[in-house]
Structure 1
Amino acid sequence: MTSTPSGLAARLWADNADLAAVCLAHPFVTGISDGTLPRERFASYVAQDAFFLEAFARAYALAVAYSRDRASLEAFADMLAGVREELRLHDSYAARWGIDLAAVEPVAATLAYTDFLIATASLGDVGLTCAAMTPCMRLYAYLGQALSGRSQETYGEWITTYAAPEFDALAATLERLLDRHATATPAVCRAYRRAMQLELAFFEGAYGQDGGR
């Protein structure tokens, strides 16, 4: 079942619905939906996304380090475990398609996103870190659920992963952490918006318009 964000998380998601809609309509995403996305573009995406996810995991680790209560510490640790599962999915893609993840050179858009995440998480403001990280989780749950039921062989596993209730639950957990630790300051709103913009830039890069998440 799809969860509905509440509180600040709901407000920020609604405020950025324009970017979510652009992502859903992007040719990279529609190509995943109908199976027409060229495999070489998806392979490049997988390589860049694996690099991105390692930085995402490090941002979670920093959130663990800066957590001031045990419940938040444990929740961020669980979220970090979820990233490990995503990385295993990428490893399976790499094995099947002959992608050398160790040789990945991050492109400009990927580096822009990872630098943003690490720089934000390094500030030690857990609420701001949540604002920078939540868009990735909620956007992918949104995309997966929107594409759910598209039974095509090539990218069906990608759709199933992000449409799964388990992934939606991870997104909801991060949104609850955002609601707990953040307030609607200009910095928090900017961080959320910036992450959404970087997600769109990633799809543009993956489609060959720039070069990465």
Structure 2
Amino acid sequence: MKSLLIFSFFCICCILASPHAKRTSEQYTEKGSSLYEDLWKKNLDIVKDTLQTKFLQRMQDGSLPAELYLTFIVQDLYYLRNVTDMLQKMSMKEGMPQDLRLFFENRFKSYQAYTNSLFNMYALENQTIIHPQPAIVSYVNTYHEVMQGYEPIYFAVALLPCARLWAYLGQNLSITQKNAYYSFKRDNDGHDPSKHFKSLLDGHQRKIDKHLANSIFRKQMENEKSFFQSSMP
């Protein structure tokens, strides 16, 4: 009886120590985590700092000079045109999983439609007449670096800070309909980036280097903050 107990204990230890048991434990951990949410939570410090930038605070109280807002919009147009072009290139890359390809195709179509509508609204024929400022050049350059240096999934990570931050600003800026900048809040409030990003990033999180993903996400969030800071130093 004693030998049977020893043998049973030995078998249990072997099972717990086996690679299969370890993988099962890791699967359980992964199922309970969300890369989409983790990236956001780890970088809330930059989100809160961005909300407190002079540009957004003056927009919130309605005292932002109109010429500064116009400059901000023009710089954003430069950003949009460049990111749209990169999304088109990403959507045509070969060898990607189907869900990632569809993501880039859909993001490209969305960016293209929105960018074209803004260029038409402001009667701009192309971006060559826009003189980009250092903050937006740095932001666009980071996208280029990610596109050229990393796997396509990391370009999706690089896109997320803009999508989540602007939705957050739409929800958290206290701007009433009487404010001249109410359209900024209205246009960004109610957007739900999770429907585009969450299932994609969480579905690929086993293959993603979490530290690299956070580094890219944080860099892009810093670029967002710099963009708002530079719009009203």
Question: Where on the TM-score scale, by shorter chain, does this alignment land: which range?
Answer: 0.7 to 0.9
CA contact (8 A) 1:34 1:150 kept: no
SS at match of 2:131: coil
Root mean square deviation of aligned Cα? 2.5
CA distance in 2, matches of 1:25, 1:134: 20
CA contact (8 A) 1:50 1:101 kept: yes
CA distance in 2, matches of 1:177, 1:108: 32
CA distance in 2, matches of 1:84, 1:186: 31
CA distance in 1, matches of 2:100, 2:39: 21
Could you tell me which residue of structure 2 aligns to residue 83 of structure 1? Answer: 111
How many positions carry a matched residue from both structures? 198
2:198 to 175, 189, 204: 175
Could you tell me which residue of structure 2 aligns to residue 45 of structure 1? Answer: 72
SS at match of 1:105: coil
Task: Note closer, same or farther for the CA distance 1:31–1:99 as it changes in structure 2 (3 Å cut).
Answer: farther
CA distance in 1, matches of 2:152, 2:213: 11
Task: Note closer, same or farther for the CA distance 1:52–1:158 as it changes in structure 2 (3 Å cut).
Answer: same
Aligned-pair identity (%): 22
Aligned amino acid, residue 194 of structure 1: K
Could you tell me which residue of structure 2 aligns to residue 203 of structure 1? Answer: 228
CA distance in 2, matches of 1:191, 1:23: 17
Whether 1:191 aligns to 2:216 is yes
Task: Note closer, same or farther for the CA distance 1:144–1:119 as it changes in structure 2 (3 Å cut).
Answer: same
CA distance in 2, matches of 1:184, 1:122: 17
Task: Note closer, same or farther for the CA distance 1:60–1:201 as it changes in structure 2 (3 Å cut).
Answer: same
CA contact (8 A) 2:90 2:104 kept: yes
Mean Cα displacement is larger for which, 182-191 or 60-69? 60-69
Bigger Rg, which one:
2
Task: Tell me the CA shift for residue 199 of structure 1.
Answer: 0.4
Could you tell me which residue of structure 2 aligns to residue 152 of structure 1? Answer: 178
CA contact (8 A) 1:109 1:201 kept: yes
Task: Tell me the CA shift for residue 146 of structure 1.
Answer: 1.2
Task: Tell me the CA shift for residue 155 of structure 1.
Answer: 1.3
Could you tell me which residue of structure 1 aligns to residue 44 of structure 2? Answer: 17
CA distance in 2, matches of 1:100, 1:154: 27
TM-score normalised by the chain length of structure 1: 0.82
CA distance in 1, matches of 2:101, 2:63: 42
CA distance in 2, matches of 1:36, 1:89: 27
Aligned amino acid, residue 106 of structure 2: D
Aligned amino acid, residue 200 of structure 1: K
Task: Tell me the CA shift for residue 100 of structure 1.
Answer: 8.8
Task: Note closer, same or farther for the CA distance 1:9–1:153 as it changes in structure 2 (3 Å cut).
Answer: same
Task: Note closer, same or farther for the CA distance 1:28–1:88 as it changes in structure 2 (3 Å cut).
Answer: farther
Could you tell me which residue of structure 1 aligns to residue 61 of structure 2? Answer: 34
CA distance in 1, matches of 2:90, 2:159: 10
Task: Tell me the CA shift for residue 57 of structure 1.
Answer: 1.4
Task: Tell me the CA shift for residue 33 of structure 1.
Answer: 2.1
CA distance in 2, matches of 1:89, 1:160: 17
| Unpaired segments ≥5 residues, structure 2 | 1-32
CA contact (8 A) 1:137 1:171 kept: no
CA contact (8 A) 1:113 1:198 kept: yes
Task: Note closer, same or farther for the CA distance 1:187–1:79 as it changes in structure 2 (3 Å cut).
Answer: same
Task: Tell me the CA shift for residue 79 of structure 1.
Answer: 1.4
Residues 98-117 of structure 1 correspond to what in structure 2 (within 5 A)? 102-117=128-143
